[in-house]
Chains A and B, each alone.
Chain A
């Protein structure tokens, strides 16, 4: 089966090349078939690989020596094990559904742009596959930057709109700040471990002391990379702006897959993090802070995609909380369930936007339930799943993270539950404002309201089913399950589990925790639905609400504290230091020589007497010098 491995990224690469190079001659139908077909092919191979891995056959395949100089040897290699095979299924599976959905959603585009869109999307899947399949940190980094590029290209897909290209640029630059940390971590690993290959790095780290400076340094730098890619404090502000891209892109890249790369990376490096509890503490606190900050902002957003975007940031925060408290399986579990229900919610939002002719403000919606039945029901399932209501998938994964947080620190749990309550509230505020009550749009819009075509509704239905059932792979022992996902992933996290002190909550405590968080979420749902279904929140926010609506003014703060001063410094260097200082000095020397030459020329008067006089003076001076020097 090792000869199948390279096919997984190869198919999307081929799709990218065909759609990209032949974009002027392909029909939309052809583009759709190629673009979606290659992802389906990858999905099929991924299933085969998954079945093999399930048998216990994790493999590493080396294609060629990538960099090989003296001490440093970095192969171009792929590793398919339990962790990557789960991600492969999610990326290619959800990826295929979103490609399919896009064939209908993007139909208004001209042929060339339609093909450009699919080329980018294929390239994205290719990069994402490199990221999760890489057998060492460098290949992971190639995918890591590759997905950032595709994200940039797709956010700015409608390049004529300057706001969109600003958003694209912001995403890329903030990710680059994260990559700065990632790269430093790579160099440090090379210096300390002499390798970037996962197995070698982890084996060499295994014997090191807890909280060794090198480990703390490396893990913190890697985490800086993760805050960029996975939109955590302080680098999260690009993700809400990234909603400028087409909605299926938001679903695939900015919800289901790319933004979970940071979680994948840390889960992959779990042994390093377990050995650096200091960093784990940082990860947990940043994750929790992001979860709660983004949730507060989501409470007051009126753009359907913005609510989902902040919700994504918040959910990613939960995943980091899970990683920070050592619940690696829980974090990966939540990546998976979140991929299903958040992709579902975004695609549902896309279906709404499609029906509403590009309207995204939920204050102008309402009562869409009867016009968009499939969208409505599937969206509702997504909302219940993300709110953590059993037995839908979000419940199991979120509960696992919260239970681990409780074991680590009760405060984590309290804040985590608070965030979960807010999640339930804002999701049902969104749901009720959009789908319940009366329609508030224009007459024109109402006349054209329609359910989306099958290519869009089928992905919704499949994702809705997955959002319902995906949690059953991780039923905890306390609820009579055997947590199959945990058993499956056990080999990946074995090293960490060995080092972690086991703290088992007794069943009674677990029941109380579950009951408390589910009960609070349910109350929030009831409150939100009863409040917003009849009388949606249409007025402009004021006071604290305005602060939330304006996202705590973090963008403005960054602009004032970082961007403006740097720009000013840049202008100062250009206008003063370069032009007046360095170049001024150079030109000054030129002028001086010019001036001096003009003055000296006067001496060449042609009068022999003056020459003689000068000769005498010079001889005298030389004589004096001789006298004093010797």
Chain B
């Protein structure tokens, strides 16, 4: 293919397509057609993302995967997108997540479905933009584009305490966004040619003292998004109160924005500051892992339990990034995808439980295995992946991340590794209380649950991914190798 003939690049396609179809969705007055439109659109996005895997060779297909055109030349910002391994992986996660969400919640009837699905698709577009952006202003633009629809989704379609939870979410992330914006502008002013491009950012001459301060502006913005202890308290509330479909996107895809941003925008721009603060951040992450694990043990609401469990997992990813070695970063890469898929499976099961039994409270459930064997099997598989049992996809990532952390420090790894014991404690506890034992009295008379074809299909697909990626992780590891190499070449260059 002659590079000059390229009509449109993959990153653009994956970005504009959901954006446009999201806007169209708003105009569809018939509820079902909006739903079906969204499902169709999400599958087309998936097809595009899958197709893009066949055009990876960066030499041969450079122009299919990279784009940059003038946007705001007066201030040195260009609309630059790059579709490298890490972007590909996360865009793939984004493209896989939405069909799963739409399928598994297909039975759910939202009021104003056109707005709901429209906002969801806008979120998808925003996420794709974040993962491909190579210009700080473009990055910031999509960062916000991904977040704003979620405020509406949560505050309009959420649970009882949705306003309070969404407000908290909003304040947290908005505070983070402001810090980020200030940081971006500061670095921009220090770039050699007044440019927002990532390359210019990496060449910015930032004085040592101010650099430390700016580093934290960026880090806190990303830490809130991940979230890292102690910036995490918005998350359990938001996960609990958002409609489950939105929670799936929040925890499956959106938290990866923070991790991604640290890898793409923080460490390469601030290598010296990263080295100075790595110890602190790693300890913070590890404390957060154990802290969140202990809290997960205490939760009675399934959604909050998964929220804290997720915080623990994210803590490991953050620690592994700051260990700054290849094994750790490889682990983070595969885990970003795998955690996203696995946590969606957990949410689907919670959604099915809530829809069928009218509650998410562990104390009000019990003995479901007798009447809901299929659901039990799915949950057990998802839970085993959650505790990173070997041959499930999560094991690969956790193994590599802990190994990377061990290279950094033995004691800190030993402490962090306690989390695998705690994960078994709270996960098996939950399985036992919800699925085993005699059926809960309050559930008397509730027969076999209705799962729905969509949810079963989504869960079955995830189970296949769990084992396929767990037994044969190589393709996924190879996919992101270019980004990993680039990352370390940048670090070594200094």
Q: Note whether A and B form a binding pair.
A: yes
Q: A67-B473, A160-B367 are in contact. Are A180 and B420 (CB under 8 A)?
A: yes
Tell me if A149 is interfacial: C-beta within 8 Å of chain B.
Answer: yes
Whether A578 pairs with B233 at a CB distance below 8 angstroms is yes
Whether A149 pairs with B389 at a CB distance below 8 angstroms is yes
Whether A68 pairs with B367 at a CB distance below 8 angstroms is no
User: Which of A65, A69, A187 is B330 in contact with, Cβ under 8 Å?
Assistant: A69
- Please encode chain A, from 31 to 71, with 1 for each CB lying within 8 Å of some chain B CB and 0 for all others: 00000000000000000000000000000000011111111
**CA distance in complex: A308, B46 (Å):** 57
Whether A142 pairs with B390 at a CB distance below 8 angstroms is yes
Tell me if A188 is interfacial: C-beta within 8 Å of chain B.
Answer: yes
Tell me if A85 is interfacial: C-beta within 8 Å of chain B.
Answer: no
> Which chain A residue lies CB-closest to B488?
A70
**What's the least CB distance linking B380 to chain A, in Å?**
8
**CA distance in complex: A573, B436 (Å):** 27
User: Which of A156, A184, A567, A570 is B436 in contact with, Cβ under 8 Å?
Assistant: A156
In chain B, positions 278-315 with a C-beta closer than 8 Å to chain A are 291, 294-295, 297-299
**What's the least CB distance linking B491 to chain A, in Å?**
14
Whether B417 pairs with A160 at a CB distance below 8 angstroms is no
Tell me if A373 is interfacial: C-beta within 8 Å of chain B.
Answer: no
**What's the least CB distance linking A193 to chain B, in Å?**
13
Tell me if A611 is interfacial: C-beta within 8 Å of chain B.
Answer: no
**CA distance in complex: A587, B435 (Å):** 36
On chain B, the residues within 8 Å of A278 by CB distance are none
> Which chain B residue lies CB-closest to A144?
B390
On chain A, the residues within 8 Å of B429 by CB distance are 169
Tell me if B373 is interfacial: C-beta within 8 Å of chain A.
Answer: yes
On chain A, the residues within 8 Å of B399 by CB distance are 67, 138, 183
Instruction: Bin chain A's interface residue count.
Output: 35 or more
> Which chain B residue lies CB-closest to A574?
B298
Q: A72-B327, A173-B421, A187-B403 are in contact. Are A590 and B436 (CB under 8 A)?
A: no
Task: Give the most central of A168, A176, A188: most B CB within 10 Å.
Answer: A176
Tell me if A451 is interfacial: C-beta within 8 Å of chain B.
Answer: no
Tell me if A582 is interfacial: C-beta within 8 Å of chain B.
Answer: yes
Whether A160 pairs with B438 at a CB distance below 8 angstroms is yes
User: Which of A138, A146, A162, A586 is B233 in contact with, Cβ under 8 Å?
Assistant: A586
Q: A184-B413, A191-B406 are in contact. Are A69 and B327 (CB under 8 A)?
A: yes
If over half of B's interface residues share one DSSP class (helix, strand or loop), that class is named, otherwise mixed; here it is: helix
Whether B171 pairs with A570 at a CB distance below 8 angstroms is no
**What's the least CB distance linking A609 to chain B, in Å?**
35
On chain A, the residues within 8 Å of B436 by CB distance are 156, 159-160, 162, 165
**CA distance in complex: A537, B17 (Å):** 80
> Which chain B residue lies CB-closest to A583?
B233
Tell me if B477 is interfacial: C-beta within 8 Å of chain A.
Answer: yes
**What's the least CB distance linking B77 to chain A, in Å?**
32
Whether B298 pairs with A142 at a CB distance below 8 angstroms is no
In chain A, positions 445-469 with a C-beta closer than 8 Å to chain B are none
Tell me if A190 is interfacial: C-beta within 8 Å of chain B.
Answer: yes
Whether A165 pairs with B432 at a CB distance below 8 angstroms is yes
**What's the least CB distance linking A352 to chain B, in Å?**
28
**What's the least CB distance linking B273 to chain A, in Å?**
25
> Which chain A residue lies CB-closest to B405?
A187
Tell me if A145 is interfacial: C-beta within 8 Å of chain B.
Answer: yes
**CA distance in complex: A496, B396 (Å):** 33
Whether B435 pairs with A187 at a CB distance below 8 angstroms is no
Whether A159 pairs with B369 at a CB distance below 8 angstroms is yes
Tell me if A341 is interfacial: C-beta within 8 Å of chain B.
Answer: no
**CA distance in complex: A566, B399 (Å):** 26
> Which chain A residue lies CB-closest to B234?
A586
**CA distance in complex: A557, B445 (Å):** 42
Task: Give the most central of B167, B294, B330, B406: most A CB within 10 Å.
Answer: B294
Tell me if A505 is interfacial: C-beta within 8 Å of chain B.
Answer: no
Tell me if B326 is interfacial: C-beta within 8 Å of chain A.
Answer: yes
**What's the least CB distance linking A308 to chain B, in Å?**
26
Q: A69-B400, A70-B330 are in contact. Are A162 and B373 (CB under 8 A)?
A: no
On chain A, the residues within 8 Å of B172 by CB distance are 586
Tell me if B230 is interfacial: C-beta within 8 Å of chain A.
Answer: yes
Tell me if B168 is interfacial: C-beta within 8 Å of chain A.
Answer: yes
> Which chain B residue lies CB-closest to A589?
B171
Whether B413 pairs with A180 at a CB distance below 8 angstroms is no
**What's the least CB distance linking A597 to chain B, in Å?**
13
**What's the least CB distance linking A332 to chain B, in Å?**
25
Tell me if A379 is interfacial: C-beta within 8 Å of chain B.
Answer: no
**What's the least CB distance linking A593 to chain B, in Å?**
9
User: Which of B369, B406, B417, B474 is A65 in contact with, Cβ under 8 Å?
Assistant: B474
On chain B, the residues within 8 Å of A138 by CB distance are 399
> Which chain A residue lies CB-closest to B477?
A69
Whether B326 pairs with A173 at a CB distance below 8 angstroms is no
> Which chain B residue lies CB-closest to A586?
B233
**CA distance in complex: A177, B417 (Å):** 10
**What's the least CB distance linking B420 to chain A, in Å?**
6
In chain A, positions 571-591 with a C-beta closer than 8 Å to chain B are 571, 573-575, 577-578, 582-583, 586-587, 590
Tell me if A179 is interfacial: C-beta within 8 Å of chain B.
Answer: yes
On chain A, the residues within 8 Å of B396 by CB distance are 67
Tell me if A610 is interfacial: C-beta within 8 Å of chain B.
Answer: no
Whether B298 pairs with A183 at a CB distance below 8 angstroms is no
Whether B233 pairs with A191 at a CB distance below 8 angstroms is no
On chain B, the residues within 8 Å of A573 by CB distance are 291, 294-295, 298
**What's the least CB distance linking A577 to chain B, in Å?**
8
Tell me if A124 is interfacial: C-beta within 8 Å of chain B.
Answer: no
Whether A188 pairs with B406 at a CB distance below 8 angstroms is yes
- Please encode chain B, from 422 to 433, with 1 for each CB lying within 8 Å of some chain A CB and 0 for all others: 001100110010
In chain B, positions 382-409 with a C-beta closer than 8 Å to chain A are 384, 389-391, 396, 399-400, 402-403, 406-407
Tell me if B472 is interfacial: C-beta within 8 Å of chain A.
Answer: yes
**CA distance in complex: A172, B436 (Å):** 16
User: Which of A72, A160, A583 is B437 in contact with, Cβ under 8 Å?
Assistant: A160
Whether A184 pairs with B294 at a CB distance below 8 angstroms is no
**CA distance in complex: A570, B297 (Å):** 7
On chain B, the residues within 8 Å of A183 by CB distance are 399, 402, 417, 420
In chain B, positions 418-458 with a C-beta closer than 8 Å to chain A are 418, 420-421, 424-425, 428-429, 432, 435-438
**CA distance in complex: A162, B369 (Å):** 13
Q: A172-B428, A578-B233 are in contact. Are A146 and B406 (CB under 8 A)?
A: no
On chain B, the residues within 8 Å of A70 by CB distance are 326-327, 330
**CA distance in complex: A570, B391 (Å):** 30
**What's the least CB distance linking B160 to chain A, in Å?**
18
**What's the least CB distance linking B487 to chain A, in Å?**
12
Whether B437 pairs with A190 at a CB distance below 8 angstroms is no
In chain B, positions 53-106 with a C-beta closer than 8 Å to chain A are none
On chain B, the residues within 8 Å of A191 by CB distance are 406-407
**CA distance in complex: A554, B234 (Å):** 42
> Which chain B residue lies CB-closest to A164?
B436
User: Which of B295, B390, B402, B437 is A574 in contact with, Cβ under 8 Å?
Assistant: B295
Tell me if B414 is interfacial: C-beta within 8 Å of chain A.
Answer: yes
**What's the least CB distance linking A350 to chain B, in Å?**
24
On chain B, the residues within 8 Å of A203 by CB distance are none
6 contacts between A and B (CB under 8 A): A156-B432, A160-B367, A570-B297, A574-B294, A574-B299, A586-B234
A68-B474, A156-B436, A574-B295 known; 8 other A-B pairs, CB under 8 Å? A69-B477, A159-B369, A162-B432, A183-B399, A186-B403, A187-B402, A582-B230, A583-B233
Which A-B residue pairs are the 10 nearest by beta carbons? A187-B406, A574-B298, A142-B390, A159-B436, A570-B294, A165-B436, A583-B233, A70-B326, A69-B330, A176-B424
